[in-house]
């Protein structure tokens, strides 16, 4: 009885580790900067974090199956550019948005096909997609940004509902849906099963190929969704948008305690991880830390977090 | 079990303390001096991975120290969405004015509007903003630079000869302005523009385009390339064609060009003065904050670099 109580306590602590890290970070920052806890700043942090977090949730699905998706930054740019191009060409805004989302999902699906039917390692398949989608963006845009996309489209990135920024609401919806899929559905269980032991999962009748196609498509969708929000926020689709975004997304997933070898982790962790990165970015800016040091500090935080994570396994 | 988790908790805390002390260490310079709060000016800069913009930042910092302002600098790492968050963050810091060097003139518009909404005046540096309200724009005067290069060519050729122009990316404002200044300078002289072709600011294209021109033109006295990359490509083409006596003038004063000038392969280049852009930025910020009227565009002088003064450029 006593023993199991202790175990619960330690398991609880383990689960809360990243939350404790986040809270600690917030306490420290609010002591160092009086502006950190202002409502306006909190909304800023949430909006800034929501971009990375939505993409990181898609990435979590992929990483849970033991894969990786390096193409998200380029998929973000391509779908944003296509949507902007369609709006400029006079299409209805929501049709343009749906088309952008569909293209992102399709690119993700192609990643899934390469990984499953083509037997290409995820790192390589998505690396190729990263290059192709970036190239396609440059070809389609001729290297020029597409801007002035109108008020209706601006709502996605700049609008507010009940004074909450729309990107934050989008993140909340994506989070709820993902949390439900992973925790309450058989598909969710199959995703974990595929990641922890693919052979066993196959033998027990799970169609692991379909599961993988699904997770890459989800990652493509969330990348495209982020592309919509970024493009709307800036009122401009830039051909080099999202360069390096895959690294921030992976960092959020890893900080959130999801194992890169698959089978273990959660979207709750990913949200916390994205918040740690977002809070750190914002806090270091508020404290006027030189951008050279900022990158150094972020690297150290990620490394230390993963080292702690390693030790507990 | 319990000991382990305590240990883990300790590791987390130690990390936090480390990060905090790092942060404290790096930000110690921001403490107000002698209890008197200085006015803050924000500078959101496109990148600090490029010496040009680092020099711009240094120029601004120096001026800010001189005039008694605190300069807050955030680096957008050439990413427009990072730029947008930087503007959000810097507005939280209670700045009185925002200097912004945009990553992209289109994508910066919404960031400028954020500052407009917060009633913080905005000054753009080096690149303009295609939206939002900007008090003034401070940038190199490319027309004057092109003119400078043109006048140098006129002077060196004693007002007579055949020249070739290598143009930048068609439609780019820097290409248009540099070409305009150059043509103004040679107008009314006996200098004849025998060829003017775009080579897209690219060294390889500069070479191939120049090769073609060399085929077509038996007599060329000078080449004006709208940037150094194309000038260096042209020099390569001239050398491999074995032609003599062609003077090449470039633009930008990149390191390779300075070296070529030292080696006597290139005649001149026009240097922008990023430190001046930065220091003028703060100077005009000061004027705006004191309520003085400022012009909507402040051109920054350029500098002609030849063999005589190239050694002062390092």
Which pLDDT score, from 0 to 100, does residue A19 have?
Answer: 83
The Cβ-side half-sphere exposure at A243, using a 13 Å CA radius, reads: 14
Residues B289 and B267 in one domain: no
* Residue B1 pLDDT level (bands cut at 50, 70, 90): very low
Beta strands of chain B (E only): which ranges? 40-45, 70-75, 97-100, 122-125, 136-140, 160-167, 190-198, 222-225, 247-249, 268-271, 297-300, 303-306
- pLDDT tops 60 at residue B3: no
> At B192, which CATH number?
3.40.50.2300
- Chain B within 8 Å of A39 (Cβ-Cβ)? no
Residues B167 and B249 in one domain: yes
Residues B69 and B109 in one domain: yes
Cβ contact B93–A234 (<8 Å): no
| Within-domain flag for B279 | yes
Which pLDDT score, from 0 to 100, does residue A284 have?
Answer: 86
Report which listed range, B1-5, B129-133, B170-174, is most confident: B129-133
- Chain B within 8 Å of A257 (Cβ-Cβ)? no
Q: Residue B285 belongs to what domain range?
A: 38-134+275-299
**Cross-chain CB nearest to A10 (options B2, B12, B77):** B2
Q: Please compute Rg for chain A using Cα positions.
A: 20
Domains and CATH numbers, chain A: 50-312 (1.10.3470)
- pLDDT tops 50 at residue B30: no
* Exposure string over B257-293, b if 16+ CB within 10 A, otherwise e: bbebbeeebbbbbbbbbbbbbbbbbbbbbbebeeeee
- pLDDT tops 90 at residue B286: yes
Residues B44 and B128 in one domain: yes
Mutation choice for A interface testing from B21, B26, B54 by most A CBs within 10 A:
B26
Which pLDDT score, from 0 to 100, does residue A15 have?
Answer: 63
β pairing state of B297-300 and B136-140: parallel
| Within-domain flag for B130 | yes
Looking at the DSSP bridge assignments, the partners of residue B125 are: B138
Cβ contact B30–A287 (<8 Å): yes
Cβ contact A21–B16 (<8 Å): yes
Instruction: List A residues 261-280 in contact with B (Cβ-Cβ < 8 A).
Output: none
Residues B259 and B290 in one domain: no
Which pLDDT score, from 0 to 100, does residue A8 have?
Answer: 61
Check if the beta carbon of residue B52 is closer than 8 Å to that of residue B23. no
pTM recorded for the entire structure: 0.76
Which chain A residues contact residue B24 at CB under 8 A? 32
Which chain A residues contact residue B16 at CB under 8 A? 21, 24-25, 28
Mutation choice for B interface testing from A32, A39, A243, A291 by most B CBs within 10 A:
A291
Residues B129 and B179 in one domain: no
DSSP string, B280-293: HHHHHHHHHHTT--
Per mean pLDDT, which range of A29-33, B32-36, B190-194 is the poorest?
Answer: B32-36
- Tokens 């989608």 belong to A133
Q: Which two tokens stand for residue B186?
A: 């040679």
Cβ contact A288–B73 (<8 Å): yes
- Chain A within 8 Å of B131 (Cβ-Cβ)? yes
Cβ contact B23–A312 (<8 Å): no
Instruction: List B residues 170-209 in contact with A (Cβ-Cβ < 8 A).
Output: none
Rounded Cα distance, B192 and B292, in Å: 46
Check if the beta carbon of residue A61 is closer than 8 Å to that of residue A215. yes
| Beta-carbon count within 10 A of B13 CB | 13
- Chain A within 8 Å of B44 (Cβ-Cβ)? no
C-alpha distances in angstroms, B254 versus A300, B26, B126, B138, B152? 35, 32, 17, 21, 19
Which pLDDT score, from 0 to 100, does residue B37 have?
Answer: 75
Cβ contact A291–B13 (<8 Å): no
Which chain B residues contact residue A42 at CB under 8 A? none
Cβ contact A230–B13 (<8 Å): no
| Within-domain flag for B105 | yes
Q: CB under 8 Å to B244, separation ≥6 — which residues?
A: none
Cβ contact A48–B24 (<8 Å): no
For chain A, the straight-line distance linking the first and the last C-alpha, in angstroms and rounded, comes to 24
Rounded Cα distance, B261 and B233, in Å: 14
Which pLDDT score, from 0 to 100, does residue A41 have?
Answer: 86
Which pLDDT score, from 0 to 100, does residue B255 have?
Answer: 84
The burial of B312, by beta-carbon neighbours within 10 Å (0-12 exposed, 13-18 middle, 19 or more buried), is given as: exposed
- Chain A within 8 Å of B21 (Cβ-Cβ)? no
Which pLDDT score, from 0 to 100, does residue B13 have?
Answer: 62
Residues B264 and B149 in one domain: yes
Residues B195 and B129 in one domain: no
Overall number of domains in chain B: 2
Mutation choice for A interface testing from B2, B4, B5, B105 by most A CBs within 10 A:
B5
Rounded Cα distance, B311 and B308, in Å: 8
Residues B87 and B109 in one domain: yes
Residues B130 and B165 in one domain: no
- Chain A within 8 Å of B10 (Cβ-Cβ)? no
Q: How far is B207 from chain A (nearest CA, A)?
A: 23
Q: From the first residue on, what is the mean pLDDT of each consecutive set of 10 residues in chain A (313 residues)?
A: 54 68 86 84 90 96 95 96 94 95 97 94 95 92 84 89 92 96 93 92 91 96 96 88 90 89 90 92 84 86 78 61
Report which listed range, A31-45, A139-153, B20-34, B125-139, is most confident: B125-139
Report which listed range, B7-11, B46-50, B272-276, is most confident: B272-276
Please name the residue of chain A whose CA is at the shortest distance from the CA of residue B103. Answer: A238
- pLDDT tops 60 at residue B260: yes
Check if the beta carbon of residue A57 is closer than 8 Å to that of residue A174. yes
| Within-domain flag for B241 | yes
| Within-domain flag for B239 | yes
- pLDDT tops 70 at residue B29: no
Please name the residue of chain B whose CA is at the shortest distance from the CA of residue A18. Answer: B12
Cβ contact A289–B13 (<8 Å): no
- pLDDT tops 80 at residue B34: no
Q: Taking residues B61-71, report their average pLDDT.
A: 95
* Residue B28 pLDDT level (bands cut at 50, 70, 90): very low
User: Count of H helices and E strands in chain A?
Assistant: 13, 4
| Within-domain flag for B156 | yes
Instruction: List B residues 106-125 in contact with A (Cβ-Cβ < 8 A).
Output: 106-107, 109-111
Residues B146 and B240 in one domain: yes
* Residue B33 pLDDT level (bands cut at 50, 70, 90): very low
Cβ contact A6–B1 (<8 Å): yes
- Chain B within 8 Å of A288 (Cβ-Cβ)? yes
Q: Taking residues B167-195, report their average pLDDT.
A: 89
| Within-domain flag for B253 | yes
**Cross-chain CB nearest to A7 (options B1, B18, B84):** B1
Q: What stretch of H or E contains A165?
A: strand A164-165
Instruction: List A residues 139-178 in contact with B (Cβ-Cβ < 8 A).
Output: 145, 147-148, 158
| Within-domain flag for B11 | no
Check if the beta carbon of residue A47 is closer than 8 Å to that of residue A167. yes
Tens digit of each residue's pLDDT (9 = 90 or more) over A36-89: 888 888 888 999 999 999 999 999 999 999 999 999 999 999 999 999 999 999
Q: Which two tokens stand for residue A145?
A: 């940004």
Which pLDDT score, from 0 to 100, does residue B15 have?
Answer: 66
Check if the beta carbon of residue B224 is closer than 8 Å to that of residue B194. no
- Chain A within 8 Å of B169 (Cβ-Cβ)? no
User: Nearest CA to A105 among A76, A70, A135?
Assistant: A76
Residues B160 and B266 in one domain: yes
Rounded Cα distance, B175 and B199, in Å: 11
User: Nearest CA to A79 among A155, A134, A126, A148?
Assistant: A134
Which chain B residues contact residue A230 at CB under 8 A? 81
* Residue B98 pLDDT level (bands cut at 50, 70, 90): very high
């Amino acid at each position: 009885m006593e023993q199991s109580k202790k175990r619960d306590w330690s398991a609880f602590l383990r689960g809360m580790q990243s939350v404790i890290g986040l809270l600690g970070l917030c306490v420290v920052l609010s002591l160092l900067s009086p502006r950190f806890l202002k409502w306006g700043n909190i909304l800023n942090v949430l909006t800034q974090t929501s971009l990375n977090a939505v993409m990181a949730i898609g990435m979590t699905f992929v990483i849970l199956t033991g894969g990786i998706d390096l193409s998200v930054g380029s998929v973000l740019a391509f779908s944003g550019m296509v949507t902007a191009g369609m709006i400029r060409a006079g299409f209805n805004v929501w049709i343009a948005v749906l088309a952008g989302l569909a293209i992102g999902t399709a690119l993700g699906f192609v990643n899934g096909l390469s990984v499953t039917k083509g037997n290409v390692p995820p790192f390589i398949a998505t690396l190729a997609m990263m290059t192709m989608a970036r190239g396609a963006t440059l070809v389609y845009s001729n290297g020029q940004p597409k801007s002035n996309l109108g008020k209706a489209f601006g709502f996605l990135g700049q609008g507010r509902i009940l004074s909450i920024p729309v990107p934050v609401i989008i993140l909340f919806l994506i989070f709820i849906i993902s949390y439900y899929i992973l925790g309450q559905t058989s598909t969710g269980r199959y995703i974990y099963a595929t990641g922890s032991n693919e052979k066993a999962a196959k033998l027990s009748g799970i169609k692991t190929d379909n599961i993988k196609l699904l997770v890459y498509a989800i990652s493509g969708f969330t990348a495209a969704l982020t592309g919509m929000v970024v493009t709307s926020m800036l009122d401009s689709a830039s051909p080099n948008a999202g360069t390096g975004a895959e690294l921030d997304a992976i960092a959020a997933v890893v900080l959130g305690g999801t194992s890169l070898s698959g089978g273990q982790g959660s979207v709750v962790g990913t949200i916390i991880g994205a918040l740690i990165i977002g809070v750190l970015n914002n806090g270091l800016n508020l404290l006027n830390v030189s951008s050279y040091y900022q990158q150094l500090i972020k690297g150290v935080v990620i490394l230390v977090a993963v080292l702690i994570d390693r030790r507990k396994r | 079990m319990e000991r382990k988790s305590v240990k883990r908790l300790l590791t987390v805390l130690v990390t936090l303390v480390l990060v905090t002390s790092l942060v404290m260490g790096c930000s110690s310079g921001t403490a107000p001096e002698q209890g008197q709060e200085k006015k803050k000016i924000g500078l959101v800069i496109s990148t600090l991975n490029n010496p040009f913009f680092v020099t711009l930042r240094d120029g601004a910092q120096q001026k800010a120290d001189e005039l008694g302002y605190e300069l807050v600098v955030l680096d957008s790492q050439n990413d427009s969405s990072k730029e947008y968050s930087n503007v959000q963050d810097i507005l939280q810091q209670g700045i009185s004015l925002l200097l912004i060097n945009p990553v992209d003139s289109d994508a910066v518009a919404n960031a400028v509007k954020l500052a407009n909404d917060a009633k913080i005046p905005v000054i753009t540096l080096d690149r303009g903003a295609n939206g939002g309200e900007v008090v003034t724009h401070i940038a190199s005067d490319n027309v004057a630079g092109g003119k400078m290069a043109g006048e140098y060519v006129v002077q060196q050729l004693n007002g007579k000869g055949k020249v070739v122009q290598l143009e930048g990316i068609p439609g780019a404002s820097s290409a248009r302005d540099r070409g305009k200044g150059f043509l103004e300078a040679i107008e009314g002289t006996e200098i004849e523009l025998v060829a003017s072709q775009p080579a897209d600011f690219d060294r390889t294209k500069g070479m191939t385009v120049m090769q073609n021109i060399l085929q077509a033109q038996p007599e060329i006295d000078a080449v004006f390339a709208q940037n150094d990359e194309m000038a260096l490509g042209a020099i390569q083409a001239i050398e491999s064609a074995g032609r003599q006596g062609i003077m090449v003038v470039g633009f930008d004063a990149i390191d390779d060009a300075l070296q070529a000038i030292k080696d006597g392969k290139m005649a001149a280049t026009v240097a922008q003065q990023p430190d001046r852009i930065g220091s003028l930025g703060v100077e005009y910020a000061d004027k705006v904050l004191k309520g003085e009227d400022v012009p909507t565009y402040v051109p920054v002088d350029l500098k002609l670099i030849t063999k005589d003064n190239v050694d002062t450029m390092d």
